[in-house]
Amino acid sequence: MTCESSVAGKRIIVTGAGRGIGRAVALHLVNQGARVLANDLDMDSLESLEAETKTGPGALAIVPGSVADWHSVEGLIATALDRHGGLDGLVNNAGVHYTCPPHKEQPDAIRQLVEVNVTGAIFCGLQVLRVFIDQGYGSLVNVTSGAHLGVSGQATYAASKGAIASLTYSWALDGQSRKVRVNAIAPLARTRMTEALPGFSGTAVNSLGEVELQTPLFTYLLSDAAASINGQVIRFNGRELSLIDHPSVNRLRVTREQWQVSDIHVALNGPLRDAQSAPGLTANLNDKQHQ
C-alpha cells in the first residue's frame, strides 16, 4: 500500500459498526493502522468488536448511541475530537431494512427506518461536515444501495437509500471548495440483510461475497489517494466495480408555447417514448464487463 492510499493514523468514525459491513470496515481500518471510533446501538456487539481489535496496529474505541438522536451524534463527534484531536473520515453506515408490499406497510416500521436511514445519516453527515469544512479536509463515505433504483417490495428502504444518493451529490458540491470529499458506496455482500431478502436465499446468497471483500473500497475512499474522487456513487460486489450514473434531465426536449392534455399525450407517446426509462434496478444493470 502506498503512502497516499494508507489510512494509518487517520481518525475515522464508523457508524453501524456492530455487525455486517460496518464491523468488517472497522476491523479493516484498525488493521491498517487507523484510529477508529465505532458506533452502534448494540453494546454487546461493540464490546465484541473492541476485543477483536486489541492487537491491531491501529486503535478502536466504542461509543454506543443512536444516530437518529442529534445530541447522541454531538457526543460521538465530541468524543472523536477530544480523544484524537481531530477527525479525518466518516463511514456513514448505520441503517435498518425490511421488505413489505406497499399495501401492507405499517407506520411504526416506516418511521423507524426513515429515522435511522435518513435522519440518522443526515445528523451524522451534517455534524461531521461542520468539522471537515472548518478544517479544510475530510472524507465522508455514505452507504447507499442499488435498491434506490427501484426494487419491488422495498419501496421505503429504496427511498431511504435514494435520499443517501441525493445527500452525496449535494454534500459533494458543498464541500468541494474546502477539499472535503463526499462519496457513496452501494455494496452487495452476504449479510443478515441479504439473507432475509426474497430471492436471495440459498444459492443466491451463497453466490454473494463476504463483507470483508468490501473493505478495500472503503479504505481507498478514506485515503489521500482518492483526493480527486468526489460526488460518486460506486457499486461494488467484491468482484465487479462500477459507477451508478447520476440522475439527469434527458437532452431530448419537446417545446410548445402552450400545452394541452392532448399535446402531452402525443409527446409522451411519440418523440419522448424511446427516451423513457424502464423502472427498477435490474433494468438499469449493464451486462458489459470490463477487466
Active site residues: 157
- The residues with which 92 forms a beta bridge, in sequence order, are 142
* CB distance 289 to 237 below 8 Å: no
* CB distance 128 to 77 below 8 Å: yes
CA distance 32 to 241: 22
Residue (of 182, 238, 186, 223) closest to 32 by Cα position: 223
The residues, ordered by sequence, that sit 6+ positions from 223 with a Cβ below 8 Å of its Cβ are: 4, 5, 6, 7, 10, 139
CA distance 27 to 44: 16
The residues, ordered by sequence, that sit 6+ positions from 33 with a Cβ below 8 Å of its Cβ are: 6, 7, 8, 9, 57, 58
